Structure 1
């Protein structure tokens, strides 16, 4: 038995859990809080500090490897799991998951995930549990195999060792202008998110949003270094549909209008509308994608809401119901399923964006980097938190360290291969 004990440690997420329905319904901000009563079950207030639970696996050599369990910022919205309940998650992990962890071959990542994360009866484990436990199991396999987490994924999914860095996407939170400047000065690949999550931020007929898009493009040209040309990515939290209406043609017309204001830039629009169900989202997003493609627009649709689980991602990708799928890691559950999701997107020639949430932790962010790089996703989120500096540092530095290790590994393999070839020649 390679796991001899299981530890649980309470933790903090890097941001807050927010009641999206209450905010969409017009909850007023007072400083950093929202005034009023929550409307989504499980929320005690509209904005709550994010919590997490670390799960530590004590291996036979007394090394302890960790993964972190948490939910996303807008828990309970768009078909997602309810807001994180520390007592419930801790109890379930101790009673159900811990005994399973003591009975697996931890050197086999996918096999151990399959056993440990089995449903209880017909009920799937909370996705937060799947997410945190699978991170710990990936670190355990990497430790036992003396490899990086990325190499474990490459081996188990039959993928070549990666050579390309994955573009990093930063999110601004409400400190839009200051954080945009930070992103530009740090030459972030994809920016700025924008947090366009209210009527006030979107504006009548989207005018406030369009002005912000134009300002970001102008600011990039003004203070960016020569040759810097990021992708512009805005999350509008369904507000195009809410303000313009839910007809795909009108939504596509509006998106093209926005793209025309920033010629020369690729424009990503995340969650242009919420059509109320997964099936309706698929059908209508596919129509929007088709219209934009027919017009040869430089705008791309990114799906988030209603596309949560691995099966959701498969259906969206097969239906071409997005140009880019956000694989929202805590909503997908097992981090092995995040790797599968990237592979599925690539098989269907749909972009794969390994995202997640500002509520995550340094450990979950670092594990996500290994998944993103090993599967060669199209972009990955700088996380956790809503600041730029910390998240960009955590994700960017982990990627650079990983690529340095993999470069050395390839050089060693080539050297050993050459020695083997010489030895064969001498014997002949």
Structure 2
């Protein structure tokens, strides 16, 4: 089976209409990436589940044919996803080694120990949100004052990142994941991010603390080839950026969904669903990451009736898989917090599947459920201050959310 090429819009926007058009043609689509780079996207839920766990699908960019042959232009906006050295670009023993260094910080037990601190930080940020609204005619940007500083604060404390540097790291992360950025800005942002994290790691080496960055530095010092400098910086890029961006989008998208579906919010208040149900349905219905780069077949492989040639850069289409009618039924477009879990598979794939399943999933879930529960308990009439269609979208087809979320806290 062959598929027509679809040009992914570098400016991002809401992905769901385009996803539906591509899905109607099949579970795998040929796509054109920025810079006229040809790739593929796996969109169907069951096909994506198979693809993510396939033993002959690699993450290391040495399998990326166009990159290996010099066909990728300097400043390509997606270069970091291929070139950063860390868990997301490692396979086999290298992946297990890198993952083991940080996994103990994200076990269910360790995350549960963070619950009181997450609750404390949530309450403090709700105070900040209320003050911001009082100073601005009862309207405040929930994303800026609440959805961002909560996961950024938690991941910052885990890695020992001073609060004064968190806003800059968030700004740089937005630049790194943007798909409409110019080559010059992309190169500058990646350079500054690497320099910032290198300086941070050097300062932490001089003044160690009880944090995961110190633990990573200790592991590197104890065994010179256990964690290289590039792997250290790559791990920090992954954990600090991905550790807050995904949860930021998750909280933002959940609030938008509940404001647009007050009947679903009522189900939670009536005890017919809980905040965990809201989080899981949001992950399915409006995935925080739309298309995640990259994986590469190590030989020609067939998925969903379509051959993906060896060395092709492939995107994991999480937002499309979440609304795949073949997996979730004819009402896959409907936000339903009581939607039953499929007996044969996960409710969604938005946190990954297989060896690269999101290490921070337990932390993201506890942050999101705590945030939503406290938010709507304190402000039960909270609603959007502008129509949904007026909310500015991310300038990226990787992250899936809006840039601001103005809300009224009270009717």
Q: When the two structures are superposed, what TM-score results if normalisation uses the length of structure 1?
A: 0.23
Bigger strand fraction = 1
Bigger helix fraction = 2
Asked which structure has the greater RCO (Cα within 8 Å, sep 6+), the reply is 2
Q: When the two structures are superposed, what TM-score results if normalisation uses the length of structure 2?
A: 0.24
Larger radius of gyration: 1
